[in-house]
Amino acid sequence: MILIGLTGSLATGKSTVSTILHSPPYSLPIIDADLLAHRALLPGTLGYSRILSYFGPSTPDLLQPLSPDAPLGTGPNATRPINRAALGRRVFGSSDAKRRDREKLNSIVHPLVRMAMVRELVWYFVRGWWAVVLDVPLLYESGLDIFVSVVLMVGVSSPAVQMARLRERDQGLSKGEAEDRVGSQMGVEEKVGRTRARGERRGKVVMNDGDRGDLEREVGRVIGEVGGEGGGRAWGWWLMGSPVGVVGVSGWEVWSGWRARKRWEEERRRERARL
C-alpha cells in the first residue's frame, strides 16, 4: 500500500485536493488528521479530560456555554464540549506563552491522533487498498513525513491569496487571529523546499494558484505519476501479498524519508553559514 502524505499550509487547498482524491476516478480513502484531532477532544475521551485539567484552570471559556434549558451538571450541561475557538486563542500566536501552550496541546493530541491513524491504516491495508491518503496539515512539523511514501504538498505562491481564501472561508476569524494561525505553522516556502528535497519520485508540489480546474489537472498529473499508469497500483497490491516485502519496503521508505530530511537540514545549515 502506498501512503500519500497530503500536506500544505493553512487554506492552501488540502481539503479541496482530498475531496478530489476521494471522488472518482481516484476514489482513494482519506485519513483526515483534523477530523481525528476533533474526535480526540470529544467529551468523555482521554484527550478531553487532559485538556480540561491543563487548560481549564487558566481558561474560563474553555467549555462551550451552559445550556439555559438543562439543569447544571446534567444532560448537555454534564458533557459540555470544548470551546475550540477559545482553545485556539490560547495556542495560536508567536509569543513564548502561546508556543508553550501549543506544544502542550500537541503533546496531548498528537499521540492520540497517531494511534487512531495506525488503526485506520491497518483497516485499509487489510481491505486491500493500493494507496491511502493521509491528510495531515502538520506532516513536517510532527515528523510524520518520514513514514509516507510520497508527500503531496499543496501550496499557494501569494501569502495575500492564502489569507484572502482563509478569511473568506472562516468568516468568524479576525485578521489578527488568521495571522496568528498562519504564523503558527511552518511557512509554504519551507514546506516546498522540504518536499523538493525528497526528490522527484517521493515529493510532489502542487501550486494552487489557478482555479479549481487547474488544481484538478495538477492532481491528475501527480496521481498519474504516483500510480504510474497502473505500475504503482500493481506495486501496492504486490506488497499486500508479501509481509516480508511490507517490512522491507517500509524500512526503506522511512530511511529514504529520514535521509531527505537530513539533506534538507544540511542544505539549510550551509545556506545560513553563507549569509
Ligand X SMILES: CC(C)(COP(=O)(O)OP(=O)(O)OC[C@H]1O[C@@H](n2cnc3c(N)ncnc32)[C@H](O)[C@@H]1O)[C@@H](O)C(=O)NCCC(=O)NCCS
Ligand Y SMILES: Nc1ncnc2c1ncn2[C@@H]1O[C@H](COP(=O)(O)OP(=O)(O)OP(=O)(O)O)[C@@H](O)[C@H]1O
When the beta carbons of 33 and 222 are compared against ligand X, the nearer one is: 33
| Residue 181, C-alpha cell as written in the block | 494561525
Choose between 47 and 232: whose C-beta lies nearer to ligand X. Answer: 47
- Residue 82, SS3 per DSSP: strand
Q: Contacting ligand Y (CB under 6 A), which of 47, 93, 137, 227?
A: 137
* CA dist., res. 92 & res. 99, Å (int): 8
Number of residues written out for the chain: 275
Q: How many CB atoms lie within 10 A of CB 260?
A: 21
SS3 30: strand
33 three-state secondary structure:
helix
Task: Give the whole-angstrom CA distance, residue 166 versus residue 184.
Answer: 14
Residue (32 or 218) nearer to ligand X, CB: 32
> What is the β-pairing status of strands 30-32 and 131-135?
parallel
Within 20-39, the residues that bind ligand X by CB under 6 A are 33-34, 37
Residue 148 partner contact from ligand X, ligand Y, none using kind-dependent CB cut-offs of 5 to 8 Å = none
**Buried b / exposed e along 123-139 (16+ C-beta atoms within 10 A):** ebbeeebbbbbbbbbbb
Instruction: Please say which residue, 33 or 239, places its beta carbon nearer to ligand Y.
Output: 33
Q: Does 10 bind ligand X (CB under 6 A)?
A: yes
229 binds, among ligand X, ligand Y, none (CB under 5 to 8 A by kind): none
Site string for ligand X, 55-84 (x = CB under 6 A): -----------------------------x
105 binds ligand X, rule: CB under 6 A: yes
Task: Look at residue 132 and give the partner it binds from ligand Y, ligand X, none, a contact being a CB closer than 5 to 8 Å depending on partner kind.
Answer: none
Is residue 179 at the binding interface for ligand X, with CB under 6 A as the rule?
no
Question: Do the Cβ atoms of 203 and 196 come closer than 8 Å?
Answer: yes
Residue whose grid cell is 471522488: 23
CA atoms within 13 A on the CB side of 53: 6
**Considering the rule CB under 6 A, would residue 138 count as an interface residue with ligand X?**
yes
Measured from the CB of residue 185, what is the shortest distance to ligand Y in angstroms? Answer: 8
Task: Name 175's Cβ contacts closer than 8 Å, sequence gap at least 6.
Answer: 167
Which of 17, 28, 87, 192 binds ligand X (CB under 6 A)? It is: 87
195 binds, among ligand Y, ligand X, none (CB under 5 to 8 A by kind): none
In whole angstroms, the minimum distance from the beta carbon of 185 to ligand X comes to 5
- The residue count for binding ligand Y (CB under 6 A) is 15
Smallest gap from residue 52 Cβ to ligand X (A): 13
Give residues in contact with ligand Y (CB under 6 A).
Answer: 8, 10-16, 137, 165, 169, 208, 211-212, 215
